[in-house]
A and B are shown apart, each in its own frame.
Chain A
Amino acid sequence: MTRLVVDDLSMRFGGITALDGLSLTIERGQICGLIGPNGAGKTTLFNCVSRIYQPDEGRILLDDLDLLSVPAHGIAAKGVARTFQNLGLFPSLNFLENTMAGAYPRGRTGFVRALTRVGVRREERTIRADAYRLLEFLELEHLAFTPAADQPFGTLKRLELARALAARPQLLLLDEPAGGLTHAEVDELAQTIKRVRDELGLTVLLVEHHMAMVMGISDQVVAMNFGKKIAEGTPAEVRQHPEVVAAYLGTRA
């Protein structure tokens, strides 16, 4: 588990200020829920932390590491993993292979080793077994050899989680994990996230619209609107915060 510190982050797209001096801290092992209306800047923040965007100002620290100095493909090695709203999966591969793919940052076989076959077989077997164990953990092992296309959305979301976890991250970023799931699946997901955090020792940041789920599993909640943080605290505190209520429901006319 790792500590994430976002310090005074700002990002503009042309005339739009997506992030406006945002700061937040997630302590080790915490689950932090990020909520806010559409356009609040949640995804932008997410993309900054996963290094898809380069913010204009501010810092992001992973324990002591300056995350902004790491290129997009380097965050996996530093222990950051994320899921995607629209599924970052690979339809050409089956469930097991997708999960094995997620273990990429942990492997060592590069072009040279692949060609000379030094240690490749053993590493492959290790990664394969490890990925299978992860599928068992998420109760997907019966689909191990099924292509990751044409499966129910909820199942694929779990695979997405498996893929992210295969990298043995310290920080897990979940991008609207409950989107498109049924009520039962959302409950299951909530339990799974908690289990993952408890058993694997992770820090979790999740962006979510499903209020009940976020409030149910988060240790702390951060609410955003217009690129700024408008509230921060326990779920109970944030739920009642007047600005949060106003952002979602509006104010009395």
Chain B
Amino acid sequence: MDLLIARIVDGFNNGVVYGFLALALVCVYRGTGHLNLAQGEMAMFSAFIAYALHAVGFPVVLAILGAVAIGFIAGGVVERVLIRPLGHGADYSILLVTIGLFLVLNAGAGVIWGGDPLTFPAAVPSAPDDYISFFGTRLRYQQLLILAVLLVVMTALYLLFKYTRLGLAMRVTAGNPDSARLLGMRVNQINSLGWALAAAVGALVGGLISPSTTLTTGMMFNFLIYAAAAATLGGFDSPGGAVLAGIVLGVLENLIGSYISWVGSDLKQAVALVILLGVLMVRPTGLFGTKKVERV
């Protein structure tokens, strides 16, 4: 029983990260209606920036916040410079740009900081006995912090999207920018905001999880795929759904990987992917996504 709980908690912790990154994907989607394949790399790069800030003397928390702020600005700039000029509906071109961005950030981090893993300290005490006991497993403070921050961010975004005019405007401008403009909405600012928020969220994730994953250029690779799966399952326009889906994915994958030996650890990720594929077959626009209706 203890083992089961330990595995659930383990999966839960992974799922939290998936959901967190999925939130960033949701922000971009809400902002401009696209999938940002470079989201993970942006988060990774921000984590490295936090490292750099810390290395010049900032305390951990400030370094992370600094990276978040820089990420926010950078996200907005990326949208302004790389995405907006391509216009609405240039899906393929935008996908290519995000792939290019992926490469630049991934390789760039390697060029700037070298290929060796770096250590980034945790924001809260993380000595071996800094944990809370939970039904026989140890919940480390850092994990609890990540969860807490995730819940705060998720709630904030949910409230933003659902109850503010800005949030409503975001949904409209992503889907139909021309109508939005005619209604007086400041489409450009809203698009940038989506990307800026996403980058900020990503920076937050990166900064918080790097202590446990060690800081390497490949750290976000896997997470992106899970995050994309989570956002698809939970709905690209639903912060709560994406987080919930992320957590469910994390737990499911871990349990299936542990208890079905045929799957083992190699195919754990495959579980998430198979679920993703299965869902998309049945509902091609995701579990909670809104269906797009085309007029002939």
What is the interface of chain A, defined by CB distance below 8 A to chain B? 43, 47, 52, 84
Contacts and interface: CB of A to CB of B under 8 A. Distances in A.
Interface in B281-296: 296
4 contacts: A43-B296, A47-B296, A52-B296, A84-B296
A94 B296 CA distance: 23
Nearest to A84: B296
Prevailing SS type, chain B contact patch? loop
Interface residues of B, number: 1
Interface in B239-296: 296
A84 B295 CA distance: 12
Contacts of B296: 43, 47, 52, 84
Contacts of A43: 296
Top 4 nearest A-B pairs (CB, nearest first) are A52-B296, A47-B296, A84-B296, A43-B296
A47 B295 CA distance: 11
Contacts, number: 4
Interface of B: 296
A43 B295 CA distance: 11
A84 B296 CA distance: 8
A201 B237 CA distance: 53
Contacts of A52: 296
Contacts of A84: 296
A47 B296 CA distance: 9
A38 to B, nearest CB: 13
A103 B296 CA distance: 22
A52 B296 CA distance: 9
Nearest to A175: B296
B295 to A, nearest CB: 9
B214 to A, nearest CB: 49
B227 to A, nearest CB: 34
A131 to B, nearest CB: 25
A179 B296 CA distance: 15
Nearest to A52: B296
A110 B29 CA distance: 40
Contacts of A47: 296
B291 to A, nearest CB: 13
A233 to B, nearest CB: 29
A43 B296 CA distance: 9
Nearest to A47: B296
A84 to B, nearest CB: 7
B118 to A, nearest CB: 49
